[in-house]
Amino acid sequence: MLTCRDVSLSYGGRTVVENVSFSVERGDYFCVVGENGSGKTTLMKGILGLLPLSGGRIEFQGVKRTEIGYLPQQTVVQRDFPASVREVVLSGRLNRCGLLPFYTRRDRACANDNLERLGISSEAGKSYRDLSGGQQQRVLLARALCAADKLLMLDEPVAGLDPVMASELYALLEKLNRDGMTLVVISHDLKSAVSYGKKILHMRRGALFCGSTDDYAKTDLYRFMSGMGGDGA
Ligand code: ADP
């Protein structure tokens, strides 16, 4: 669905992603791992077109850039966002509204379908900021699914969740993937990435490893980094 060829990205002349090449195929559960500051989020923003590339190119097959659903890392301010759950999920359709931000019947049906799919229909009328962290992530996932139904990119989706909520979210992601959704998931938790992902890209500015999860689990890199507590930090 997408191929990065020698992609580089920089901030004010400082290169933070250098010559990274990989492909994501339809149906993949593709994990991007690496220590904090290794360039994972920057790479994702480059793929989404939120940052210009300083080198290389990205090709899309069967999906347009605007058809990628994105779940960014949540900020403290977003956790306190004063809107209803339904409004947050519906806002995933804004990129389809054209010049006038009016929701159609189809937009509302899509929001309802995704609320149902993620088991949060009963929360639709509640205020987003009153939900638990795990439920908020479900709402944001439903929002991303309203924006796109082929490829989802998630940046540290379990950050800040307790272990039970985190494993529920992982189970949900696995189900979405089984149902055909292609996932690209940033995580600094190597062990979870290895148990859930099908492919791994391990970054440290460049790509230290890119390939199947099974092959990655046999590398000294994985053994060393996971022995250091997951992110090697
Ligand atoms: P990761 O997602 O792996 O934690 P990031 O992509 O967020 O890493 O950051 C990679 C590097 O780029 C870090 O050194 C970070 O400080 C730097 N960086 C991130 N965002 C910006 C920005 N907006 N301006 C300047 N430098 C940035």
Which atom number of ligand 1 is nearest to the Cα of residue 186? 2
If one compares 204 and 77, the residue with the highest pLDDT of the two is 204
Which atom number of ligand 1 is nearest to the Cα of residue 43? 6
If one compares 149 and 217, the residue with the highest pLDDT of the two is 217
Do residues 63 and 48 lie in contact, with contact meaning Cβ atoms separated by under 8 Å?
A: no
Top mean pLDDT of 42-56, 165-179, 217-231 is at 42-56
pLDDT at 10: 97
> Does pLDDT of 54 surpass 50?
yes
pLDDT at 233: 39
Sequence length of the chain is: 233
Task: Give the whole-number percent of the chain exceeding pLDDT 90.
Answer: 61
CA distance 231 to 96: 38
Cβ burial 150-180 (10 Å sphere, 16+ → b, else e) = ebbbbbbbbeebeeebbebbbebbeebbeee
Other CB atoms within 10 A of residue 45 CB = 18
> Does pLDDT of 229 surpass 80?
no
Cα 75 from chain centroid (whole Å): 15
Question: Which residues does ligand 1 sit against, CB inside 6 Å?
Answer: 11, 16, 34, 36-42
Top mean pLDDT of 22-36, 72-86, 139-153, 184-198 is at 22-36
CA distance 134 to 122: 15
Which atom number of ligand 1 is nearest to the Cα of residue 44? 6
Split at pLDDT 50, 70, 90, the class of 97 is low
Q: Which of 41, 42, 154, 185 to mutate to test the pocket of ligand 1 (most atoms within 8 A of CB)?
A: 42
Which atom number of ligand 1 is nearest to the Cα of residue 17? 10
**CA of 15 relative to ligand 1 center, distance in Å:** 10
* Strand locations in 65-222 (E): 68-71, 151-155, 182-187, 199-204, 206-212
Q: Which of 7, 8, 9, 11 to mutate to test the pocket of ligand 1 (most atoms within 8 A of CB)?
A: 11
Place of tokens 């022995």: 227
- Give the predicted TM-score (pTM) of the model: 0.90
pLDDT in tens, 106-160: 999 999 999 998 889 999 999 999 998 889 989 999 999 998 878 999 999 988 8
Beta-carbon contacts of 71 under 8 Å, excluding residues fewer than 6 positions away, are 137, 140, 141, 143, 144, 152, 153, 154, 155, 157
CA distance 177 to 49: 24
If one compares 99 and 134, the residue with the highest pLDDT of the two is 134
